[in-house]
Amino acid sequence: MGLFAGGIVSLLSPWFRSRPWLLALYPPILTVRGDISGIFSGNLSTMLHLGLIYPRLRRNAETYYSLISSIYVLTFLDTLGMGLIAFILNISLGVASLEHLPLYLLVPSVTCILAVLCSMPLTILIAIMGYRRGLDPDIIVYPWLSSINDILVSASYAAVAALIIVIGDLGFRILLAGFLCALLVSLLIIHRRWRNSLFREIIREGTAAVILSTLLASFNGVVLSRLRAGIASHPGILILYPSLIDTLGDIGSIIGSLTTTSLALGYIRSLRGLLNEGLRRTLRVEAVAAPLHLLFALITYLLLGMPNVGVLRFLVSVSLLTNLLSFLSISLLALLLAHITHRRGLNPDNVVIPAITSASDTTATLTLLPALAITRLIGL
């Protein structure tokens, strides 16, 4: 699914050189949407385990509706903040100019609201169906959700970008109308739900976590926009990119989500026990993830129309090296964050997965650079 998402965005490659904001906004949009998805899936999984919500779609507990409402509002507020932070960072580095400000504010918000309206029902359905069948939602929900979101976000982003690039002023007016509608709905939800303690908790803790992670995500966008010439000449890198960050985030989120539930249920009480169990889980997850990176490279090669075999060797090397350079560090970070937030009395579901998805995106982006350098060095 991540490869398909990369293929969708690669359709915009003819405009990468002339419109650097396309690559500058794509990583932070993926990251912020992934962060909010992590908050949603983490809370949903834990609440199912604790019996705070029922495994059904309708006639559920008040907690269920407060969670859904808070995720919508959180999406709008955080994407608006992300756009502003990304603009400040990119204009300071010369990637953006003042005339791009409306794009940095409107495009992320409309893109992510479109994606969340589609992904939220699917997330709930996956969690409830899996739970009813005896599957652990901590393991299945976020990986499925992150992959689905990559496709939904990439498709929404490509559609919104094409609306502006192809239609021009009319497309921008349509985008502005969508933004104002999303703003109105958010204000109505805040007015109705603000007295609910769970709603306020998720908005307060989630906004802080996501805005902090936006700084890393915007840096990813700067790095990717600096590589736009290389990406334009090697489109396979951009097709691989969502899968690399998606899978690394999945590794960290599975470890983090399992750990937050174990802490909530009292199964783990000490840091030593947490690390021992966490490292065993990490190796099990990596035993699945590493071979999959070979498959990612092969599918990317097929999506490119099977050019020369040297391209396949290049993609395999980049994919495997990125995975090997990053999986252990992201797993250790997930374990430590779960322990620290639990000890400080915060809700780990509102902090751990957002932080891990942001860190995984940055880690995957940064390890992409040495992976490319090593690949070139050995002549692949």
Residue-wise pLDDT tens digits, 158-177: 888 888 888 878 888 999 99
Is the pLDDT at 207 greater than 60? The verdict is: yes
Work out the mean pLDDT of the chain and round it to a whole number: 79
Give the global pTM: 0.68
Is the pLDDT at 180 greater than 90? The verdict is: yes
Give the helix ranges, DSSP H, for the chain: 2-10, 21-50, 62-92, 101-132, 137-162, 169-193, 197-226, 228-233, 235-265, 271-303, 309-324, 327-343, 352-377
Read off the pLDDT of each residue in 200-224 and give the average, rounded to a whole number. Answer: 71
Whether the CB-CB separation of 259 and 278 falls below 8 Å is answered with yes
Give the number of other Cβ atoms within 10 Å of residue 23's Cβ.
Answer: 27
Mind listing the pLDDT tens digit for each residue in 333-365?
A: 888 887 777 777 776 666 776 777 777 777 887
Is the pLDDT at 121 greater than 60? The verdict is: yes
* Rounded Cα–Cα distance for residues 354 and 348 (Å): 10
Give the number of other Cβ atoms within 10 Å of residue 164's Cβ.
Answer: 21
CA neighbor of 79 nearest in space, from 146, 21, 32, 23: 32
Least confident of 4-8, 85-89, 280-284: 4-8
How much of the chain, in percent, has pLDDT values that exceed 70? 86
Mind listing the pLDDT tens digit for each residue in 225-237?
A: 666 555 656 767 7
pLDDT of residue 275: 75
pLDDT of residue 221: 66
